[in-house]
Chain A
Amino acid sequence: DIQMTQSPSTLSASVGDRVTITCRASQSISSWLAWYQQKPGKAPKLLIHKASILESGVPSRFSGGGSGTEFTLTISSLQPDDFATYYCQQYDYYSGTFGQGTKVEIK
């Protein structure tokens, strides 16, 4: 089983800050990495797939990078609507393991 580890678990930041979340895979997953945003009581929303491809309609302040085992999600200028929990997910033909999540809180 591929394990996904996110850091930090919680991130306190202010509006306008640049924030970066890291996700590490226990083995190489090439670029098969997605990022999701989830707000309380809502379904997750896909932000990025294949490590760096932004979904249609997702603001350009979100960006993803990395390959192999190390990946990042960066929000260039945090907005009030961005306070949420973020999850990475590796996806291949047989599985789809999530990281444990990073909660982005208001500082």
Chain B
Amino acid sequence: EVQLVQSGAQVKKPGESLRISCKASGYRFSTYWITWVRQMPGKGLEWMGRIDPSDSSTNYSPSFQGHVTISADKSISTAYLQWNSLQASDTAMYFCARHNLISADDYWGQGSLVTVS
């Protein structure tokens, strides 16, 4: 069974750093990209970027390029989303998803709530 399990809720202060994780199981991790999606409180879905775990190549939305870093460790089937300096506007739910080049984002994690205050 394909599963993506994300790290738990975090409360941080502005200026702090943070890395959240997304652990995959039930499939060959290197075979599918991982997407990260932001959902601010009461708002819609925003595509942040994707990583190919086989070689760690990434694509970012221009809206997020330079503010977050997406990485992956294929030895432990885990993808990461990282901030070096959080802002209050980063308060949101963050989802990871398995990306299939043909069938889009077919499996999703449960979400990680990040609160910056």
User: Interface size on A (CB < 8 Å)?
Assistant: 25
B11 contact set on A, CB distance < 8 A: none
Write the nearest CB–CB distance from B44 to chain A, whole angstroms. 4
Q: B103 near A49 (CB under 8 angstroms)? A: yes
Q: A-B contact count, CB below 8 Å?
A: 68
Q: Who on chain A is nearest to B62 by CB?
A: A1
Q: A55 near B45 (CB under 8 angstroms)? A: no
Binary contact track A89-107/B, C-beta < 8 Å → 1, others 0: 1010111111111000000
Q: B102 near A49 (CB under 8 angstroms)? A: yes
User: Interface size on B (CB < 8 Å)?
Assistant: 24
- The answer to whether B35 has its CB under 8 Å from any CB of chain A is yes
Q: A94 near B47 (CB under 8 angstroms)? A: no
- The answer to whether A44 has its CB under 8 Å from any CB of chain B is yes
Choice from B47, B100, B109 contacting A89 with Cβ under 8 Å: B47
**Complex CA distance for A46 and B104, rounded to whole angstroms:** 8
- The answer to whether B50 has its CB under 8 Å from any CB of chain A is yes
- The answer to whether B117 has its CB under 8 Å from any CB of chain A is no
> Hey, which bits of chain A sit against chain B, CB under 8 A?
1, 34, 36, 38, 43-46, 49-50, 53, 55, 85, 87, 89, 91, 93-101
